[in-house]
Amino acid sequence: MTLDEKRRQKKLAKKAAERKARLAQRSSITHRDSGALAARSPIGDCLVSTSLFEEGIGHVVLTRALPGGDLAVAGFLVDTYCLGVKNALYRGFSSTEFELYRRQIEQLTPLESIHPSCLRKLVEGAVRYARDLGFLPHSDYARAARLFGDIDAAACPVRYSYGKDGKPFYINGPNETPAQSRRILETLARKLGPDGFHHLTALGSPEEGALAVPGRSIHLISYQISDEPMEDTAYARLPQAVKDELEKLHYQVTDNPREAVVALGAMIERYPDVPQIYNYQHAAYTLLGDKANAKSVLDEILEHFPDYLFGRIAQASGCLERGEIDRIPEIFEGKYDLKLLYPERECFHTSEVLHFDAIMARYFHALGEDDRAEMYYKMLHRIDPNHQTTQMVRRLLHPTRIEALLRMLAAKR
């Protein structure tokens, strides 16, 4: 082995040893003695999601500077509406790793700085609120909370309120199973009674929403959201082979609308009582730019299925595009909530909720009531942040600089 090669191997070994030492230091912050040392280290970033109390859930992050340049990091996913600390993290990061971690959070929600005393007060208040309802914090909370150290929560002048409109509000997260959601709802029902809380859940089927409360079975929810086809509809009574054919046509509407309108016309002749088929045909004509046939199909929907939600949504969308904002209240009977519009229904399909909330966001934005539009957008974001309707509303309410410029140029044409 040459001298240069020996030197290179020696440097590599030294770097490997240093890297191993850094990893050992970071992993050791979870031990009692080094954890206590971290809790006495200088406070670094104190961050909180800007929309935490508006959306009811968000991130809270505390860092302290460790000897050697690394960071001890405590991260909390906080549900201020109901469940307290749903997730917690406590570990060591290099400064580069922490910036990556921070950027990952900010892709979901902006972060802002908060005083250390208020950070601790906020998190511990959420934990107490949830404990009173019967919910324990995440299993890693106690370990992460050690990083608070001697931060004095009593020094924070801010008064935090939990729940929504005076009651707990449970919105199930994307990682919670129907069984977990049922257990949470049952816990709330035992603690507060059927009218003591609000909630919105996305369950697998309407039957899964029925809660076993001692002595009776009741529905506690304003409405449920499901990805399953709605029962007791003309669509649900179709043969499975026809449903499969319709699903293919649904995709064909986007890929080849000219062929789709022909196939959908034939299907309407076979199944004239299924409004979804008309809705697909209306969408195909719209994509083709055939306004006359699109209007004809929409008129047929509104005549034969006056209560069909997607017919109302299509009608409202056309009104918004033509600037006929005043017609929207008439279309929705002045009711801007699905449960108010359809009080007999207990469950709505995810697509119904997404498209209804999107049209409401567009309507209130057109009225200049962006606070109300933002409320619908936040619900869209919680249900499916990547759905095309959610992204469309995001671009409307929060355009990037390029999107805003393109919109301005289009308006000048």
- In tens, the pLDDT along 362-392 reads 999 999 988 888 888 888 888 888 888 999 9
Is 50 exceeded by the pLDDT of residue 227?
yes
Q: Is residue 9 part of a domain?
A: no
The CATH number of whichever domain residue 254 belongs to comes to 1.25.40.10
Q: Is residue 142 part of a domain?
A: yes
Report pLDDT for 201: 63
Which residue is it, tokens 């959601």?
181
- 276 and 391 housed in the same domain: yes
Q: Is residue 15 part of a domain?
A: no
* Long-range CB contacts for residues 42-45, cutoff 8 Å, separation at least 24: 43/116, 43/151, 44/71, 45/102, 45/113
Adjacency order of strands within the sheet including 169-171: 169-171, 198-202, 224-226, 347-349
Q: Is residue 233 part of a domain?
A: no
Average pLDDT over residues 76-90: 95
Report pLDDT for 33: 42
Q: Is residue 24 part of a domain?
A: no
Average pLDDT over residues 218-222: 36
- 255 and 376 housed in the same domain: yes
Is 60 exceeded by the pLDDT of residue 277?
yes
Q: Are 141 and 89 in contact (CB under 8 A)?
A: no
Average pLDDT over residues 6-26: 59
- 400 and 256 housed in the same domain: yes
Average pLDDT over residues 338-356: 86
pLDDT band with cut points at 50, 70 and 90 for residue 163: very high
Q: Between these two residues, 223 and 81, which has the higher pLDDT value?
A: 81
- 217 and 124 housed in the same domain: no
Distance CA 122, CA 192 (A): 23
Could you list the residue range(s) of the whole structural domain that residue 325 is in?
Answer: 240-412
Q: Is residue 16 part of a domain?
A: no
Average pLDDT over residues 61-84: 94
Q: Is residue 229 part of a domain?
A: no
- 264 and 387 housed in the same domain: yes
- 89 and 67 housed in the same domain: yes
Q: Between these two residues, 332 and 231, which has the higher pLDDT value?
A: 332
Sequence-distant (6+) residues with CB within 8 A of 21 are none
Q: Is residue 328 part of a domain?
A: yes
- 340 and 369 housed in the same domain: yes
Average pLDDT over residues 89-108: 89
pLDDT tens-digit map of 172-219: 776 677 778 889 989 999 999 988 988 876 543 333 333 333 332 223
Which residue is it, tokens 């404990």?
131
- 35 and 88 housed in the same domain: yes
How many domains does the chain divide into? 3
- 324 and 297 housed in the same domain: yes
Is 80 exceeded by the pLDDT of residue 87?
yes
Report pLDDT for 269: 92
- 187 and 248 housed in the same domain: no
271: alpha, beta or left, given left = phi > 0 and alpha = psi -120 to 50? beta
- 81 and 194 housed in the same domain: no
What are the DSSP E strand ranges found in 80-163? Answer: 84-93, 111-113
pLDDT band with cut points at 50, 70 and 90 for residue 402: low
- 88 and 178 housed in the same domain: no
